[in-house]
Amino acid sequence: MTATEPETIHSTFVIERNFPWRPARVFSGFAQPALKRRWYAEGDQHEIQEFQMDFRVGGIERFRYRFREGHPIAGSEIANEGLYQDIEPEKRIVMASKMSLNGKTLVVMLTTFEFVPAEQGTDVILTHQGAYMDWPDGVTMIEMGWRGLIDRLQRSLAQ
């Protein structure tokens, strides 16, 4: 073994957020394909190439997009493919997934969403465990991405 930087970085982070709605409503943001596409997949800086969602244990979720002109990596394609490992309606979703850039794996992830009834609605606890391949900034970028997505989910559910 050499004294070089590791090629694979392992990391876990947790994001907790309170939503002012009952668990059924918050859970629907993850379970309904049209709603999830709106907060999770759509965006100004990229064009969706594919979005498929089979929300059941053993179901696959695929999402591919290409960055638009003006983005630092315009023309590049991001692909996410996940497998729903566990779904307990209004309580928990566990998904194993992989993100690639132009066909090269960047990160393999296990993501758990917990929906906990709270005095003021629902607490959502996102636990993200990842193995990042040759992507030293990946941990920070993925966590920032999830924080932004959770904000988008909240805005989407408020509509």
Separation of alpha carbons 88 and 93, rounded Å: 6
* Structural domain contains residue 126: yes
DSSP-assigned states of every residue in 31-88: H-HHHHIIIII--TTEEEEEEEE--STT-EEEEEEEEPTTSTTTT-EEEEEEEEEEEE
Residue 120: what residue type? Q
Task: Report the mean per-residue pLDDT for the chain.
Answer: 94
Within a domain: 21:
yes
Count of structural domains, the chain: 1
Distances (CA, A) of 142 to 87, 148, 153: 23, 10, 16
Residue 3 lies in a domain: no
| Torsions phi, psi for 143 (to 5 deg) | -65, -45
- Under a CB-based contact definition with an 8 Å cutoff, are residues 113 and 104 in contact? no
**Would you place residue 72 in the very low, low, confident or very high pLDDT band (cuts 50, 70, 90)?**
confident
Q: Is the pLDDT of residue 80 over 90?
A: yes
- The 10s digit of each residue's pLDDT in 108-123 is 999 999 999 999 999 9
For residue 1, is pLDDT > 60? no
* CATH assignment at residue 112: 3.30.530.20
Under the banding of pLDDT at 50, 70 and 90, the label for residue 159 is confident
> Is position 23 within any domain?
yes
Q: pLDDT tens across 38-64, in order?
A: 999 998 899 999 999 999 999 999 999
pTM of structure? 0.91
Q: Which domain holds residue 54?
A: 8-158
